[in-house]
Structure formats: C-alpha cells, structure tokens
Amino acid sequence: MRKYRIRIGLDVDDTLYECNSYAVSIINGRHPDEEPMKIEEIKNWSACGRHADERLALYSDPNFVRTQPITAGAQEFVKKLSEIADVFFITAVPARCMSARAERLVQDFPEIPPQNIIMGTRKDVISLDIMLDDGAHNISSSRAAYPVLFRKPWNTNLSGLLSVNSYDDFLHFCEMVRNSFSENFPSLENGGVLCLVGPSGSSKTEIANGLTALSGFEKPLTSTTRPRRKTENENSYRFISEEQFIKEMNEGSYIETTVYSGYHFGTSERDIEPIVNRGHVAVIPIDICGAITLKNLYRRRAMLVFTRRDRAEAIKSIISRDIDLEDKTRRIMSLDFEYRNSEVCDVEITVGDNVKEAVDKILGLIPRK
C-alpha cells in the first residue's frame, strides 16, 4: 500500500519559539518596581493585560524576532516530524521582521527546506493535512483537514477544538492520521482507559455513571476548577481553585490537563494507574485534547469512544443545565468543532434517549472476563 506523505503546517510564535513569555520577561525587566506580570494575564493575541501596547510593539521589532528563545524540545520535535511528513512553517510577522524570522528558521531547523517557509497573516487560505497553531482564531478558520490547537494559557476561551498539550501528543496524533488508524483495535480486556469524547449534551456523564455501576469499571477522580453543580456531590470531582490547579499542574501532578468552557480539568496518574493495574477499566468523560494525551500514554489500552447525539437534543440538554448563560453559549458555539472530533476516535456510537442502550453498545466493544 502506498504511503502518503502528509503535509503539516507549524505556526512559529509560541509553537516553536517563546513569544509571549519572552515579551513578559522583557516587560518585567523594564518595570522592576511593579508587581511582575504573569503569563496568565494574557488572554488572547490582541491588546489585553498590562502594558499591552508595549507587548504588541515587541512583536514588530526585528531584534525581538531575532533573539526569541527556542521552545525546549522544538528542534528535536521538528526533526522527528520531518521524518514522517512534509513540514511547512506558517508564520505571521510584519514585513520588517520577515528576514530575521527566515534567518532564524533556516539556522535552527536545517532539515526544513527554505521554500517551505510561508509568511503572511492569511492562514485561512492555506490548505494542509494538519495544522498546529496556538492561535484559536487561526485554528477556527483553518482549511486544514485537521486543524490542531496547541494549548496555551491565552487560548482557553474556545472549547471543543481538536487540541494537544505537548509536542509528544502532536507527534502521536500525526502518526494516527498517517497510519489511517490501521493499528489493531484497542483491547481493554485486561484493563485500560475508556475515554468518552463528544459534544456537550451528548450524555457522556450519564454513560460513565452507567458503566461505573457495573463491576470492572471505575471513574478516576478528576480535578477541576469548575464550580460544583447542585446535582453533584463532593466526590463527583475534586473541586479546587484555579490557583491551586495551576500550582499542581506546574509541579507535574497531572498526566493530562485540558480546559473546557473556561475551566481547567486534570487527571493524575495516581488516580488512573491503580484502576488499570487491577485489570479494571478507567472510565473518563473527557474532551479530545485530554483523550489524545491518554491515548499517547496507554496506546492500545486506551479506547476513544465518540458519543454522537442529535444536535437539537444536545442543544436542549445544554439549555436545560444549571449553568450560566455565557457557559451555555460557549458550549453551543463549540458543537461544530466537537462533532469533527469523531474522525480521530476509535469508534462512534449514537446516543438516543435510552442511555442504557449506549452503555450496552460500549460493553459490546469490550470482552468481559
């Protein structure tokens, strides 16, 4: 069978080179008498946060572009990627910075031909197989078959996008696409991880509850910054503050983290491993970003199940929830992105009004001892 060499586009700022964090460090150096600015203050790529104008001005400075630090692991990442795909750098810089940007890319990533450097702000007209970018606005308008968001503190407002947390996760995702999912079907007979992936309102939580009521299925305790709902008990999640979550994340407490509808979610190895080691199945309702991370870690012992529910029914479910209007709006707006994620899951099931039928469909995929 002929191997198709896929075309992958890589954003540059805050994907391969430190940009926002570098700008923050320069700004803090210029204002030593102020409380140091934190990267979390930047909510998007526009003028926001303290010293916004000063930060944006740096991005048009050729010297800034010429001296940006390379993100740790970026060179090894690009080298590995170039072995399985044709890699293109898709970068938006002002005209006066183009030479500096091209010189750095040619110097730091010699395995990529100079003709594969594409500069300009119209990323929406570039057709690729896969695109990795930290700008949610670029991903939402991308013509790539698989536009992938690189998770950063400033791109948490838009939920549902196909996204990854690390270079390793992206490499694994590209391998999945390249192999056209021809690997053996996942096997959870001796324990593993079952990721329930689907749009908001597709009954993921109800299906998880149905499965974990049975012997051999357990739900790991996920940490979240989301407020506890009236219908939830204190053990539904580990409810913590955003400050505590970020502290634990920076300490490496979680094997996967994601942001959904503006709230952080994270799962730790200490919560999953005991379940898998018992030969049981860890059942996790999760977004595609976290699911890809777990698939990367557990490989054939991780099964991604996409729960598809009629769009109108999903919207009704979202509207009826005890959440604020802004949260409902974000969830409804993300539906189109989330339905696309079915393409990267191992299997898809249709969910109707009878959750037990959905549970039975999943049980049919997992041999019981």
Instruction: Name the residue ranges covered by the structural domains of the chain.
Output: 6-178, 192-363
Q: Is the predicted pLDDT of residue 130 greater than 50, yes or no?
A: yes
Q: 184: Cβ–Cβ under 8 A, 6 or more apart, which residues?
A: 300
What is the C-alpha radius of gyration for the chain, rounded to an integer number of angstroms?
21
Q: Show the tokens assigned to 345.
A: 């899951």
Each residue's pLDDT tens digit, 197-243: 998 889 998 999 999 999 999 999 889 998 887 777 777 789 999 89
Q: How far is CA 87 from CA 79, 81, 120, 172, 296, in A?
A: 10, 7, 17, 16, 21
Q: What is the pLDDT of residue 1?
A: 29
Q: Is the predicted pLDDT of residue 171 greater than 90, yes or no?
A: yes
Q: What is the pLDDT of residue 181?
A: 47
Each residue's pLDDT tens digit, 21-57: 999 999 999 999 999 998 888 877 666 668 888 888 9
Each residue's pLDDT tens digit, 346-361: 889 989 888 999 999 9
Residue 279 contacts residue 301 (beta carbons within 8 Å): no
Each residue's pLDDT tens digit, 262-292: 788 888 888 999 999 999 999 999 888 888 8
Tokens 């499965």 locate to 211
Distance CA 100, CA 59 (A): 12
Q: What is the mean pLDDT of the chain?
A: 88
Q: Is the predicted pLDDT of residue 162 greater than 70, yes or no?
A: yes
The DSSP line for 100-149 is: HHHHHHHHH-TTS-GGGEEE-S-GGG---SEEEES-HHHHHT--SSEEEE
Q: What is the separation of C-alpha 30 from the centre of its chain, rounded to a whole number of angstroms?
A: 34
Distance CA 258, CA 165 (A): 8
Entry pTM: 0.70
| CATH 3.30.950.10 for domain 192-363 | no
Same CATH fold, 192-363 and 6-178?
yes
CATH of 6-178, one of 1.10.3720.10, 3.40.250.10, 3.40.50.720, 3.40.50.1000: 3.40.50.1000
Distance CA 178, CA 164 (A): 17
Q: Show the tokens assigned to 355.
A: 């959750």
